[in-house]
Structure 1
Amino acid sequence: MHLQQLLVVIDPTQPQQPALERAAWIARRSGAALELLICEFHGALDGGALFDRSTLEKARASLLEQRRDWLERLAEPLRQEGLKVGIEARWGKPLYKMIDARVAELRPDLVLKTAHSHGLLQRLLLSNSSWQLIRHCPAPLWLVKPDREWQGRRLAAALDPTHSADKPASLDRLLIDCTQALGKALGLEDHYLHSYAPLPRTLVFDAELVADYEYYVERTGARHREAFDALLGQYPIAAPRRHLLQGFAEEALPQFVTDNGIDLLVMGAIARGHLDTALIGHTAERVLEAVDCDLLVIKPVASASQ
């Protein structure tokens, strides 16, 4: 993964910008350029009978000019440090489509956005931009969790060597390559995780498995260990940085993050249909809701445009 251009989504509703803070931290270590993107939309300025078209256009232009002035104020201290910072202000909605359009033009190496936790109902209604960006953003998406102080010490990649989530094998290799590159570029200690969960005894209906449930659990663990070791055996990754966890990903991964001081969790995601994601949600989405560190979501090239 190259770090030459970062796109930072600025939230016009918040005085603090954790995504910008994180992007500046990355840029200081990598030399990457930043672009600060703000997207505005107000229904009252989009149309209606009270104002003519010319008046509405002037009002929108005035608002965007105010936003550009604010972006310049955010950018100036960073420029004084020697960082390269550009700004962009746009009118439109929904937010995730505006971001995706700018990604297609700028082709950044990373998109950074602050991710506030939201309830299950909002996720099911597909109304939150973070969930939409996880599904649709063609660039690697770094979601910044604002409630935890950034230490900048460790990152971990969550792998799926048995492809139980229908992810292609190439995605695991991409995650490892990106994690190693980020660790080297940013001075982070890299770790590699795989979690698996045998069926609970109460959900095993096969009489033979019920009779020897312990053997079934042992065999399941051995199969995952073999696949995990075979994948990581292709890389010079020391044993202390390999972690096989037993448990569901949305429980085991957040617990590992907390216990081991992980600052950034790297996960893969594949594009799926709207109905599937509405009813189930990606593992990455469920983990985002539970994890208390930043999350980097990476898609295989073939699915990033779906």
Structure 2
Amino acid sequence: MSEYQRLFLVTGSTMRHTPALQRAVAIAEATGAALHITVFIEDFDFMGLISGSGKFRETCQQENQKWLKDEADLIRGSGIKVSTEVLVTRNALQEILRHVEEMQPDLVIKDVQHESALKRVFITPLDWHLLRECPVALHLVSEVRCPLPRVIVAAVDPSHPETQITGINDRIIQAANGLAMQCSAELHLLYAYDLSLTHISDAGAGAVTMPGFSSDVRRSLHKSFMALANHYGVPPERQHFIAGPPTKAMADFAAHNRADVIVMGNAHRKGLDKLVGSTTEHVLYQVPCNVFAIQGQADQ
């Protein structure tokens, strides 16, 4: 039996044949999962400044209902069980989370909503909110070279296990492997380590001044990474241990290896770093592939 029984596609009022829709349909067809599609129309309160705004909302809702009905009929032609809904709301995040709680989908799929860096300074993007709060796996899609992913990368971090959310690396690999098996894709394991951060974290013990410190730390991290990879049977040619700041290293790896999906935890460690934006949130805008985030289920 497939791991996926129910998929939830989140889309907007101006979106039509988007990458997320293509990916959702492909996964549903491959796994036999039921697909529920909700078009969320954000109902802004214009304080009566725009004449006929109520009529505009009604027209927008009707157009989306018609498009969605026609699209659902085409999808059903592929043997997929699909249900649809058009919802006008003033709080898309709250409604998405309410739907997730009621539906209990195995996977939420959504197009990446690209926001400028300046806008992100003042307004937390909806995608970031979902990364932090969505209680089930979340697949944020920016492009699809193939309807189904062909190269899936589990991004892990075996360093400093005492500060990690318990079992997060295992959950990342299991989720990536489950997706790879259902999509007949390659599973790769990636650890992008940044020794400069390791130096800072260990500086209090004076280790940074010891000869050969960097080499010793690298060997220790590599050993931990290989143990994790071998435990899950990832072959050596699909184990990638690379140096550099995580976001840039992952971006370079994804570009050079035509990775389709990077699977990450929505938070990897305990503590205050989660408040300033996780690596996963920054990867969303800088890595040229799609993100699949799983809930940390933290020991908070």
Q: TM-score range, shorter-chain basis?
A: 0.7 to 0.9
Structure 2 matches for 1:143-182, cutoff 5 A? 143-146=140-143, 149-150=145-146, 152-163=149-160, 166-182=163-179
1:27 corresponds to: 28
- Structure 2 residue 138 is matched with structure 1 residue 141: yes
Tell me what 2:96 maps to: 99
Secondary structure of residue in 2 paired with 1:141? strand
Where does the alignment leave 5 or more consecutive residues of structure 1 unmatched?
Answer: none
Amino acid of the structure 2 residue aligned with 1:173: D
Q: Following superposition of structure 1 onto structure 2, how do residues 229-244 of structure 1 map, counting pairs within 5 Å?
A: 229-244=226-241
- For the 8 Å contact 2:141–2:291, the answer to whether it is kept is yes
**Contact (CA 8 Å) 2:187, 2:234: kept in 1 or not?**
no
Conserved? CA contact 1:8–1:19, under 8 Å = yes
Aligned-partner Cα distance in 2 for 1:108–1:221: 40
Q: CA deviation at 1:63?
A: 4.6
Using the TM superposition, name which of 253-262 and 235-244 deviates more.
Answer: 235-244
| Residue type of the alignment partner of 1:7 | F
Q: Do the aligned partners of residues 271 and 208 (structure 1) sit closer, same or farther apart at CA in structure 2, a change above 3 Å counting? A: closer
Paired residues of 1:163 and 1:169 also in contact (CA < 8 A): no
Q: Which runs of 5+ in 2 are unaligned?
A: none
Q: Distance in 1 between matches of 2:264 and 2:162?
A: 12
How far apart are the structure 1 equivalents of 2:158 and 2:136? 23
Partner of 1:288: 284
Structure 1 consecutive aligned stretches of length 4 or more whose deviation exceeds 6 Å: 202-208
The C-alpha deviation readout for 1:134-185, integer Å capped at 9, x for no partner, is 1111111101013x62373110100011247943241111111111111111
**AA partner of residue 67 (structure 1):** N
Change beyond 3 A, Cα 1:183–1:254 = same
2:242 is paired with a residue whose SS is: strand
1:301 corresponds to 2:297: yes
Cα separation, 2, equivalents of 1:91 and 1:165:
45
Give the equivalent residue in structure 1 for 2:244.
247
* Aligned partner letter, 1:187: S
- Structure-1 separation of matches of 2:74 and 2:129: 32
Paired-residue identity, %: 28
Alignment of 1:68-83 (within 5 A): 68-83=65-80
Q: CA deviation at 1:199?
A: 1.7
- The offset of 1:92, in angstroms, is 1.3
Q: 1:107: Cα distance to partner?
A: 0.8
Tell me, yes or no, if the aligned pair for 1:115 and 1:144 is still in contact at 8 Å. Answer: yes
Structure 2 residue corresponding to 1:222, chosen from 203, 219, 222: 219
Tell me: CA distance 1:44–1:288, structure 2 relative to 1, closer, same or farther (3 Å).
closer
The 1-side partners of 2:253 and 2:128 are apart by: 23
C-alpha distance after superposition, 1:112-143 (max 9, x if no partner): 11104322233333432111111111111101
Which stretch shifts more, 128-137 or 116-125? Answer: 116-125
Aligned mates of 1:63, 1:12 — CA distance in 2: 8
Aligned to 2:119: 122
Paired letter, 1:288: L
Q: Which amino acid aligns with 1:199?
A: S
Work out whether 1:7 is the aligned partner of 2:8.
yes
Q: Are residues 2 and 205 of structure 1, via their aligned partners in 2, closer, same or farther at CA, if it must alter by over 3 Å?
A: closer
Q: Distance in 2 between matches of 1:29 and 1:208?
A: 51
Give TM-score, length-normalised by structure 2: 0.86
Alpha carbons of structure 1 residues 137 and 208: separation in structure 2 relative to 1, 3 Å: closer
CA distance in 1, matches of 2:182, 2:247: 28
The one-letter amino acid of 1:6's match is: L
Shift of 1:222: 1.0
1:153 partner amino acid: R
CA-based RMSD = 3.2
